[in-house]
Each structure stands twice: as C-alpha cells, then as structure tokens.
Amino acid sequence: MKRLTGYAVIGCALLPACVACTSGEGGITPSALPSPSSAEPSRLLQLPALDLADDPLTEQDDSAHSGKRRVIGEVHNGLDRIIIYTTGQKCGLATTRKGDRKNLSVHVLTAWPKDGTHETTRLPYGPYLNSSAKGSHGTWANLSCGKDAMVMKFFSPDISKTSKPRGSLDVIQPQNTESPVSIVVGTREIREKLSAALKTHS
C-alpha cells in the first residue's frame, strides 16, 4: 500500500489566474453556460483512457474498484507529475514528485453532483462539485468534478510555465510562479468553452 502525504479535503471556490493554453491532444470562443441533462450519458466517461507504465495508484486499487479506475490525462510540470482519472461517477487527481514516483504528494477524489444539486461553480457544462487538498512540499490542488468535464488548479513551489500534457485536456499556464496551473478535461468543444470562461476570471 502506498503512502498518501498531507491529505486533507475542503470546499473551495474556483478563481484561477491564467493566460497561455497548451493542448494535450484551439480557438476559444465565449459562449453561454450550457448544462447537461441528467438523462444524457456522461461525455467524461467516454473519453479515451491512457496507458501508464508506472501508475502510482495501482497498489491502492482495491478489489471493489479494480478495473473501474480509468486514467484519462497526465501532465508533467516542473518537478510534478499530475495524473487525472475517473472511477465510476467520481473524478480524481493525484500528483507525484520527480525522484519519488511511489508516494503521492496530493490526492483529491470527488463525485459529480446528482440531479443538478450542490453546484459550486458557475462554469459551462456544470454543475460541478469542488474539493481541495493540501499536500507535501507546499503543493495544493482544487478539483471541480462534473458529469461531462473536470476543471482543476494545481500549485507547486516548482511550478513551470511549460507543461507536457497527454489526453483530452488543455493546460492553461499561470501568469507567474505565484499562480497555479489550470487544467480542463473534456471533449474539444467543452474544453474551448471552459478555457474561455476561465480566462474571463483571470
């Protein structure tokens, strides 16, 4: 069993500061705030899964969740590796540090809201449910989980203005080293609208 370091979850508002955008797979057009119907299938769960050669969460998968967790995104930024996944109707974010790939520095797991309840952010393709965690090495993360998309912020003292993304995601680079990296996960259309909405709050 792998050790989780500094795991604490609280509610948090999503107000990112960001400018440049990098795609893991572009143009951005402002739009209204569409929301999915609860009867429609989840577009988040239809995103393609990634193969991870050294998945740090493998040993934490118990028999009840075996085969259900799907890694759908990965971002390398500075000394940090960010792994984005789904498990059932939940969104997850886990990070590790260079030189210590076995122990998680931050881990956040939250479910998407049921029937439009518990909306905590006014972003396209919501509602979303927010969770946050502070980790080791001065890191922290905020995760907004929706039925069709995920929006997250990640901060590290070693934040870099360049990222190496994989998967159906876009990385919105911070204006400076005091601001977090923002990541949007979803189909291309969803990511474009989310990125535009996030930039209006920067």
Q: Please, what are the averages of pLDDT over each run of 10 residues along the chain (202 residues)?
A: 40 36 45 53 95 84 65 95 95 93 91 71 87 94 96 93 92 88 96 91 65
CA distance 145 to 136: 23
Q: Give residue 31's pLDDT.
A: 36
Q: What is the pTM of this model?
A: 0.78
Q: Identify the burial level of 33 via C-beta atoms within 10 angstroms of its C-beta, where 0-12 means exposed, 13-18 middle and 19 or more buried.
A: exposed
CA distance 48 to 119: 26
CA distance 186 to 190: 6
Q: Give residue 118's pLDDT.
A: 58
Altogether, the residues listed in the chain come to a count of 202
Q: Give residue 22's pLDDT.
A: 58
Residues forming a β-bridge with 108: 93
SS3 state at 114: coil
Domain residue extents for the chain: 9-199
